[in-house]
Structure 1
Amino acid sequence: MTQRSSSQRRTASLTPGRIIEAALRLSDHEGGLDRLTVRRIASELGVGTMTLYSYFRSRDEILDGMADYVLGRMQLPAEPPAGPAEAMRDVGLAFLDMMDEHPTVIRLFGSRVTDSRPALRGAMEAPLQRLVDAGIPGPLAVRCYGFLITYSIGFATYQAPRPWGRAADAGGGDRAEQRRQRSHVYSALPRDEFPRLVELAGELPGLPTNEQYLAGLEAFITSVLSRPDLSPPG
Structure 2
Amino acid sequence: MARQHKRDSQLTPERIIEAALRIADAEADLDRLTVRRLAADLGIGTMTLYSYFRSKDEILDGMADHVLGRMKLPGGTDAGPAAALRAVGYAFLEMMREHPSAVRLLATRVTDSRTALRGAMEAVLRRLVDSGIPGPVAVRCYGFLITYAIGFVTYQTPRQWGHEAGQSGTEQRRQRSHFYAGLPIEDFPLLVSLADEVAELASDARFADGLESYIDSVVRTLETHPAR
When the two structures are superposed, what TM-score results if normalisation uses the length of structure 1?
Answer: 0.93
Residue 161 (structure 2) aligns with: 164
Moved segments of 4+, more than 6 Å: none
Instruction: Give the distance between the partners of 1:89 and 1:116, measured in 2 at CA.
Output: 26
Residue of structure 2 in register with 1:230 after alignment = 226
1:230 is displaced (CA, Å) by 3.3
Report what 1:147 is aligned to.
144
- 1:75-94 mapped onto 2 (5 Å cutoff): 75-94=72-91
CA contact 2:182–2:192 (8 Å) conserved in 1? yes
Counting only pairs closer than 5 Å after superposition, residues 175-214 of structure 1 correspond to structure 2 as 175-214=169-208
Alignment partners' CA distance in 2, 1:213 and 1:164:
14
Q: Per-residue displacement from partner, 1:44-88 (whole Å, max 9, x unpaired)?
A: 111111110000011111011101100000000111111100000
RMSD: 1.3
SS in 2 for 1:76: coil
Q: Which amino acid aligns with 2:121?
A: M
TM-aligned CA deviation for residue 165 of structure 1: 1.2
TM-score normalised by length of structure 2: 0.96
State how far apart, in whole Å, the 2-side matches of 1:14 and 1:103 are: 25
Aligned to 1:133: 130
In 2, distance between residues paired with 1:9 and 1:183?
54
Listed as ranges, the gaps of 5+ residues in structure 1 are none
Q: Which residue number in structure 1 is paired with residue 2 of structure 2? A: 5
CA distance in 2, matches of 1:31, 1:230: 42
Give the conservation status (yes or no) of the 8 Å contact 2:28–2:101. no
Answer 1 or 2: which has greater helix percent.
2
Residue in 2 that maps onto 1:66: 63
* Between 177-186 and 119-128, the greater mean CA deviation after superposition: 177-186
Partner AA of 2:172 in structure 1:
Q
Quote how far apart the aligned CAs of 1:31 are. Answer: 5.3
What residue in structure 2 maps to residue 221 of structure 1?
A: 215
**Of 105, 118, 122, which aligns to 1:121?**
118
Kindly provide the CA deviation profile for residues 151-184 of structure 1, in whole angstroms up to 9, marking residues without a partner as x: 1111111111111111328xxx921111111111
Q: How many residues align?
A: 225
Would you say the 8 A contact 2:36–2:46 is kept in 1? yes
Percentage identity across paired residues of the two chains: 63
1:114 match: secondary structure = coil
The 1-side partners of 2:197 and 2:214 are apart by 22
Answer yes or no: is 1:53 the counterpart of 2:53. no
- Indicate if the aligned counterparts of 2:28 and 2:100 stay in contact, CA closer than 8 A: no
Q: 1:218 to 1:31 in 2, by over 3 A?
A: closer
Please state how far the C-alpha of 1:29 moved relative to its aligned partner: 1.4
Residue 41 of structure 1 is matched in structure 2 by 38
